[in-house]
Chains A and B, each alone.
Chain A
């Protein structure tokens, strides 16, 4: 079964995924909303930037983050002046890395969902005395609910499976930055196949269940609306 260290890794992984998803929903919602509405001619550049983690090797992202967040990075001095310490090899560092790494998995479904709503329901809301913010919360968000579910689950599941970025900027500190994917790697390296099995199967089932939930619920949305 799971060793205590494995359980700790599992808890850290779930915590990392939850915090990352929460932050991404908070940041990604206004960003996706803005991108779905704006006529800004350089929007495509921002879209490409958001999509970058989809194609970039995680080690590249991790490498740059290490440079930025590390002890000699530009942010380190600032943080130390504020009484903090370098973010590399900390849980906070992992969160920052994960937010960037999983960004497209949250922003893209949200943007698609907002675009699918179109302008009309919001125009209707405006003629019914709803201010833009009011109509965002009472019309756009409820209509985009399947997009929110997809975004949250994909963001969460993708963060669960993160490896390269974590390895680069989080290291492998048990109890602090050791996540499941890295614990599995360690077990395999140490020929502890049984532990690797348990963790791998656990992650597999968790991810599968979550994705099944999303696809199942989205299918019901479509059936109801058809």
Chain B
């Protein structure tokens, strides 16, 4: 575990207080990409939006696979594109995972993964071939030809191949989209472990809010080639000026830490700044960080702390904002120890409880899901 500990990988190229600056204007037929972004050069940044919104184009422009005149791109203190220069893709320290695995069919798995490594100067190799193979769990496939692999296996090889070049940034274009459900189930844990173990920035293109909730730290919402909003994932999911908080599946994410296990009732306690969640026992170590998903529909509100209820997860909260949803419902944004949480209730309930911003109440979470 902990690639950084033993390999000293990353942080070298783009330290955590550095940013990625990207400004692009690109006309493709009737489609216009027009973005001006400043992203943290750490963690997973997800580009989310409907198909055709320009996410893939933006990723390709960042990689240099698509040329964009009048673009500007800077990672940390390395300029990849400005008025006077355009660093060709093969000279950019990046890893790219395409939607289709796109393995070299004429090479076996080992040679696919090793292809890039050979072309990286030795002193820049911070991530070993073996580590890439181990992290993606493809050790048993090395002698196979790509044509004999399943979709999920192929994509794992493609991820290993991209990691093996010790990239300064990893770009992923919907790596799950071309897979069947079984393949997806196979890759998702790999991606989650990347999120935990890699210390390089990742830009992850997706059209699935579910994937984003699992993997992203930072979110860029794209629509018709423009940026609708950008920010930390927990904040973006609960912002009323963005569509995510208004969807049927509106949800909030909470980062928590495993505090203790309850042997008698087989439970696990998870602490966050607003209190303690109680969930069915998980095989996690005390001190592990976890990401919790709380769906707005599952959060109800009470004025008093209920003691005669079966619900265990009850937190004192302050109402931050309220917005109508259709004719019957409202979405309420709460702050629980500073962490935003959403609650979907009827307009009638809100009137009966006289809910308004600033009011202190109790939030009851009927269910909560562990994402990692």
Chain A interface (Cβ within 8 Å of chain B)? 120-121, 123-132, 134-135, 138-139, 142-143, 145, 224-226
B116 contacts chain A at the CB level, 8 A cutoff: yes
List 12 A-B residue pairs with CB atoms under 8 Å apart, sorted by A's residue number: A123-B102, A124-B96, A125-B115, A126-B90, A127-B65, A127-B95, A128-B161, A129-B116, A129-B165, A132-B90, A139-B106, A224-B145
Q: Kindly report which residue of chain A lies nearest to residue B96, judged by CB atoms.
A: A127
Total A-B Cβ pairs within 8 A? 69
Q: A134-B119, A224-B147, A225-B147 are in contact. Are A126 and B106 (CB under 8 A)?
A: no
Given contacts A125-B90, A126-B65, A225-B105, 5 further A-B contacts (CB under 8 A): A120-B102, A124-B96, A128-B115, A130-B116, A224-B145
- What is the CA–CA distance of A134 and B63 in the complex, to the nearest angstrom? 19
B243 contacts chain A at the CB level, 8 A cutoff: no
* Min C-beta distance of A1 to chain B, whole Å: 45
Question: Is B98 a contact of A128 with CB atoms below 8 Å?
Answer: no
Q: Kindly report which residue of chain B lies nearest to residue A226, judged by CB atoms.
A: B147
- What is the CA–CA distance of A128 and B100 in the complex, to the nearest angstrom? 16
Top 9 A-B pairs ranked by shortest CB distance? A128-B116, A129-B119, A127-B96, A126-B89, A142-B106, A126-B90, A124-B102, A120-B102, A129-B90
* Min C-beta distance of B57 to chain A, whole Å: 14
- What is the CA–CA distance of A224 and B64 in the complex, to the nearest angstrom? 33
* Min C-beta distance of A162 to chain B, whole Å: 34
Residues of B within 8 A of A126 (CB): 64-65, 88-90
- What is the CA–CA distance of A177 and B119 in the complex, to the nearest angstrom? 49
Q: A142-B106, A143-B105, A225-B105 are in contact. Are A127 and B63 (CB under 8 A)?
A: yes
Q: Kindly report which residue of chain A lies nearest to residue B103, judged by CB atoms.
A: A124
* Min C-beta distance of A13 to chain B, whole Å: 34
Question: Is A120 a contact of B161 with CB atoms below 8 Å?
Answer: no
Q: Kindly report which residue of chain A lies nearest to residue B97, judged by CB atoms.
A: A127
- What is the CA–CA distance of A225 and B104 in the complex, to the nearest angstrom? 12
Question: Is A129 a contact of B120 with CB atoms below 8 Å?
Answer: yes
* Min C-beta distance of A132 to chain B, whole Å: 8
Instruction: Classify the interface of chain A: helix, strand, loop or mixed.
Output: helix
Chain B interface (Cβ within 8 Å of chain A)? 63-65, 88-91, 94-96, 98, 100, 102, 104-107, 115-116, 119-120, 145, 147, 161-162, 165
Residues of A within 8 A of B90 (CB): 125-132, 134-135
Question: Is B104 a contact of A124 with CB atoms below 8 Å?
Answer: yes
Q: Kindly report which residue of chain A lies nearest to residue B66, judged by CB atoms.
A: A123
Residues of A within 8 A of B115 (CB): 125, 128, 130, 138
Q: Kindly report which residue of chain A lies nearest to residue B60, judged by CB atoms.
A: A123
- What is the CA–CA distance of A20 and B151 in the complex, to the nearest angstrom? 44
Question: Is B102 a contact of A130 with CB atoms below 8 Å?
Answer: no
Residues of A within 8 A of B89 (CB): 123, 126-127
Question: Is B102 a contact of A143 with CB atoms below 8 Å?
Answer: no
- What is the CA–CA distance of A130 and B106 in the complex, to the nearest angstrom? 16
- What is the CA–CA distance of A178 and B303 in the complex, to the nearest angstrom? 106
- What is the CA–CA distance of A186 and B40 in the complex, to the nearest angstrom? 81
Residues of A within 8 A of B147 (CB): 224-226
Residue in A120, A129, A135, A139 whose Cβ sees the most chain B Cβ within 10 Å: A129
Question: Is A121 a contact of B104 with CB atoms below 8 Å?
Answer: yes
Residues of A within 8 A of B116 (CB): 127-130
- The one of B98, B107, B120 in contact with A120, judged by C-beta atoms closer than 8 angstroms, is B98
Residues of A within 8 A of B161 (CB): 128
Q: Kindly report which residue of chain A lies nearest to residue B106, judged by CB atoms.
A: A142
Residues of B within 8 A of A134 (CB): 90, 119
Residues of A within 8 A of B120 (CB): 129
- What is the CA–CA distance of A127 and B65 in the complex, to the nearest angstrom? 9
Question: Is B106 a contact of A128 with CB atoms below 8 Å?
Answer: no
- The one of B65, B94, B102 in contact with A121, judged by C-beta atoms closer than 8 angstroms, is B102
Question: Is B165 a contact of A123 with CB atoms below 8 Å?
Answer: no
Q: Kindly report which residue of chain B lies nearest to residue A138, judged by CB atoms.
A: B115
Q: A121-B104, A139-B104, A143-B106 are in contact. Are A130 and B119 (CB under 8 A)?
A: yes
- What is the CA–CA distance of A143 and B104 in the complex, to the nearest angstrom? 8
* Min C-beta distance of A84 to chain B, whole Å: 44
Residue in B63, B64, B95, B102 whose Cβ sees the most chain A Cβ within 10 Å: B102
Residue in B90, B100, B165 whose Cβ sees the most chain A Cβ within 10 Å: B90
- What is the CA–CA distance of A135 and B165 in the complex, to the nearest angstrom? 16
Residues of A within 8 A of B96 (CB): 123-124, 127
- What is the CA–CA distance of A194 and B258 in the complex, to the nearest angstrom? 94
Question: Is B98 a contact of A124 with CB atoms below 8 Å?
Answer: yes
* Min C-beta distance of A76 to chain B, whole Å: 47
Q: Kindly report which residue of chain B lies nearest to residue A129, judged by CB atoms.
A: B119
Question: Is B162 a contact of A127 with CB atoms below 8 Å?
Answer: yes
- What is the CA–CA distance of A129 and B116 in the complex, to the nearest angstrom? 6
* Min C-beta distance of A225 to chain B, whole Å: 6
